[in-house]
Amino acid sequence: MNYLITIIGPTAIGKTSLSIALAQHFICDIISCDSRQFFKEMRIGTAVPNKDELNSAPHHFIQNKSIHESYSVGDFEQEAIAKLDELFTKNKVQIMVGGSGLYVDAVLKGFDDFPDIDESIRIQINTDFERFGIDYLQQKLKELDLIYFQKLTTENPQTLQNPQRMKRFVEVCLGTGKPYSSFIGQKKNSRHFTPIVIGLEAQRDIMYDRINQRVDIMINEGLLAEAEQLYPNKQLNALQTVGYRELFDYFDGKTTLEFAIEEIKKNTRRFAKRQITWFKRTENTMWFDYKTDIANIIECIENQFTSNNS
């Protein structure tokens, strides 16, 4: 039986160090499902593992794409599953780690099948979004798929503020002439592994303090220079993310540097809250305090192996 040990939790909680410790114990590889760490131009602001960490265990899907490439969660699902199929031939245990809930779900559960959409529709939606903003996408989805719009409003309101996902919902509606919701639940995804999900958590004040410290470290390591280099490409989807947007506003003369740094901290804390909300819905997760001894976590994992094989 193949096992995919999946480590989830909010940003700055210690997922990377735990993943490396587990990979060394089980002598296996690490699949990263942090959607911001895919891009090779974004290192400091995405908290990419350092050289020593990367050399401590084989890693995959870290800085393997360019911000100029189109790369969707569906693309990641296909590539990650193919890589896991390859890795499982060498070791029946593999590690996946990351804070991007949608990408975790893509690997663990998969997505429904959607038809290809004409490129002209995608271009028109992008043009309309540039002119009218997120309100246009929200109104369009409400018109084209009221059921799904109401579901998001009730269960996942932050998605209504996510331009990339909202564009996708609208383009499926326009490109097929059918509601986005009509394609959900049609496909059953098979997986050749059993997931064992480990969640890391901390008291909110501790988590916020760790986030604030991490942002200060990023600034000291050169985040300002990294963002300045990326500034000419600020319109790209990959750069619509915390840590860069705030500094782009500073470069635009809209804020002071001090204010921008405080905004990064505030928005990262908000992001962490959204991560917790998402991950708390993940079924059969074993939650641990971030300071739990690794030996205890390994024992719980190995107990899972035993119970599944009995």
Contact 62, 37 (CB under 8 A): yes
Quote the CA–CA distance of 206 and 290 in Å, as a whole number: 10
11 is in an annotated binding site: yes
* Alpha-carbon gap, residue 262 to 73, rounded angstroms: 30
**In angstroms, rounded to a whole number, what is the distance separating the alpha carbons of residues 213 and 176?**
47
Report the distance separating Cα 219 and Cα 257, nearest Å.
11
Angle at 32 between CA 299 and CA 210, to 5 degrees: 75
> Is 194 known to sit in a ligand binding site?
no
Q: Is 31 annotated as a binding residue?
A: no
CA 152 to chain centroid: 18
13 is in an annotated binding site: yes
| Tokens 């969660």 belong to residue | 73
Chain-centroid distance, C-alpha 305: 27
Q: Annotated binding site, which residues?
A: 9-16
Q: Annotated binding site for ATP, which residues?
A: 9-16
Q: Annotated binding site for substrate, which residues?
A: 11-16
